[in-house]
Amino acid sequence: MIELRAVTKVYPANPKPALSNISVEIARGEFAFLVGTSGSGKSTFLRLLLREELPTAGSVHIAGRDITRLSAWKVPAMRRQIGCVFQDFRLLPDRSVFANVAFACESIGRPGSMIKRLVPEVLELVGLSGKEERMPGELSGGEQQRVAIARAFINRPVMLLCDEPTGNLDPGTSVGIMRLLDRINRAGTTVVMATHNADIVNAMRRRVIELDAGLLVRDQQRGVYGSGAAVTVGSSA
Amino acid sequence: MTRVFPILRDAVKGLRRNLAMTLAVVLCSAVSLTLFGAGLLLNRQVDITSRHLFGRVELTIYVNDGITADQQLALATKLSHDPLVKSAAYESKDQAFAEFKELYKSQPELTQGVTADLLPASYHVKLVNPQDFTAAAAEYAHLPGVNQVQDWRGRLKGFFRFLHGFQLAAYILAAVQGLATLVLLYNTIRMSAHSRRRETSIMRLVGATRFHIQLPFVLESAIAGLAGGIVAGGALFGLRIALIDHRFAHQEFTPVLTHGDVWTVIGYVLLAGAGASSLMAFIALRRHVNAAEPKRPSRSLRKSIPPPRMARAEEAAPKKPFVGATVTYGSRGSTGSPDAHVSNGSHRRH
């Protein structure tokens, strides 16, 4: 599904690579955590998958396609296969919940009848039925993130990229969001989630890919958050 | 299938959000389009006037009253065989008198006392190439029996130069004002795109095509341009009524612009307003959208990649500082224990 082949990313202003010779493969339907300290290259990793960045060397393949060689007009079609969720939700504050979710559909030219059918469906999936007309400002952080997930999922992407989706949420709310992501994953969507939240990683016991200063230092099935000491801290907390 | 309504709604919303700026764009484009339209109308008027004046005749050759039949025959033969001449029509004294009476029938005091005798017979000549009138005039002026050659175009040169001057001034002003409008529009669109960057970035991420992202903005400025065009069209129509219907309606020097002409020009003005502003929006947005997409890494950047480090952090950990440490361990007198040189922390538990 996702494959990075010997990917190196160097930003022009910084001689130190943000990612250095990374090769990873994530299968269809997998759930993978991307862990590492701030600046370890997690966000660059996700941005490469979205083709928000191009690697300086190496190639990125999604569904068997090298997206680094994609011509510009094919990029939108590629992005329709990917949903993304961010730490700061990125909702449109002047639009209702319904309009925020519908926006993703409208933007790719879906007909109105389809939008009217799909939006309530996906809002029910994320547990926000009955809150269609609320404005984002009237929702709690967890609810806002659910709207963001609904928006990311409404076009039925084959993979969901989450950049610290629980970063702004309290532990209880985070669990709810993780349950939702887990459900989406069990329905067949590949999920890649960058996170700092050790508890969640340790509780889920899914694949863990750890980056450190741009290097891939660990790739473990059913892994935990940090190696050694970090596990102790996590389990004692 | 692209849905029109949400896009149109976004465009109108964008215009209303920035009402003051929208108003500035509409007024600016209205002024420049009015000037542009005035230039076009003036052009049309010059066309009508010159066609009226030169449509039938470019030279008039007046013949002497005492011209002999031979001289007249020679003149007529020369005219009919002249490669410069397209057509030549003879007008007798009686015909000239009839036309004279027709022309001034509203002012009988002018025609009083004039008889057919007083008016000369003439040839009305149309040239193949109107530019040749000086050559043609010179050729016929000195023939026997010819009284005078009247070169209409030459006589009206000053008048047309005056009209063309006006027209040029209108075009120059329209260009300057138009440039200012386009710069203003460019700025407005960039500001509008900036204030809606959250929307556009989400659109990009969910896979909206470039066309779909740009459409509301292009539509927005097309609406503003069209509004400017409508104001300009109104101004031009007002100008037509005020100047022509009220002022020049009764002159007989030349026919004037019809309502049809004004409508045609208004059509051009609307088209120019909507077209130029959408084009400008498209250009302004191309830069905005392009800036969001990643650039291919430069060759120098690709060359600057350091050689790949080893994949494991433990192995890649810098060993040099520990070499010194090893020496210290050794010199601390652990008496050359074989373990003393082991520097990597992960192996320390051995």
**pLDDT at A151 exceeding the cut of 90:** yes
State the DSSP H helix or E strand holding residue B185, giving kind and residue range, or none if neither. helix B157-195
Higher pLDDT, B31 or B341: B31
* A-chain residue closest to B215, CA distance: A107
| Per-residue confidence band for A142, with pLDDT thresholds at 50, 70 and 90 | very high
Higher pLDDT, A149 or B123: A149
Q: Quick one: pLDDT at residue A226?
A: 74
Q: Give the number of A-B residue pairs with CB atoms closer than 8 Å.
A: 104
In tens, the pLDDT along B123-137 reads 888 777 766 777 777
Edge-first strand order for the sheet with A57-62 is A19-26, A2-9, A57-62, A65-66
In tens, the pLDDT along B134-180 reads 777 788 878 888 887 877 777 777 777 887 888 888 889 888 988 98
Q: Which residues of B touch A81 (CB under 8 A)?
A: 207
First CA to last CA distance, chain B: 69
Q: Is B299 on the interface with A (CB under 8 A)?
A: no
Residues 6+ apart with CB under 8 A from B194: B288
Q: Is the dihedral of CA A185, A133, A111, A151 positive or negative?
A: negative
Question: Which among A39, A41, A10 is positioned nearest to A216, based on CA atoms?
Answer: A41
* B-chain residue closest to A160, CA distance: B206
The reply to whether residue B312 touches residue A217, judged by beta carbons under 8 angstroms, is yes
Instruction: Yes or no: say if A51 and A7 are a contact pair by the CB < 8 Å rule.
Output: no
Task: Report percent pLDDT > 90 for chain B.
Answer: 15
Instruction: Yes or no: say if A132 and A98 are a contact pair by the CB < 8 Å rule.
Output: yes
| Per-residue confidence band for B252, with pLDDT thresholds at 50, 70 and 90 | low
The DSSP result for A170-186, as a single string, is -HHHHHHHHHHHHHHHH
**pLDDT at A180 exceeding the cut of 90:** yes
Q: Which residues of A touch B14 (CB under 8 A)?
A: none
The rounded distance, in Å, linking the Cα atoms of A59 and A45 is: 12
Question: What does the DSSP 8-state code read for residue A61?
Answer: E
In tens, the pLDDT along B273-299 reads 999 999 999 988 888 888 778 888 877
Structure tokens at B293: 């997409």
Q: Is A21 on the interface with B (CB under 8 A)?
A: yes
Question: What does the DSSP 8-state code read for residue B116?
Answer: G
| Per-residue confidence band for B325, with pLDDT thresholds at 50, 70 and 90 | very low
Largest CA distance in chain B: 147
- 3-state secondary structure (DSSP) of residue B148: strand
State the DSSP H helix or E strand holding residue A152, giving kind and residue range, or none if neither. helix A141-153
Angle of helix B4-17 relative to helix B157-195, nearest 10 degrees, comes to: 100
Q: Is A95 on the interface with B (CB under 8 A)?
A: no
**pLDDT at A3 exceeding the cut of 70:** yes
The reply to whether residue A79 touches residue B312, judged by beta carbons under 8 angstroms, is no
- 3-state secondary structure (DSSP) of residue A221: coil
Reported ipTM: 0.88
The reply to whether residue B209 touches residue A73, judged by beta carbons under 8 angstroms, is yes
pTM of model > 0.80: no
Question: Which among A187, A185, A228, A219 is positioned nearest to A204, based on CA atoms?
Answer: A185
How far is the alpha carbon of A16 from chain B, nearest alpha carbon, in Å? 8
Q: Which residues of B touch A108 (CB under 8 A)?
A: 206-209, 212
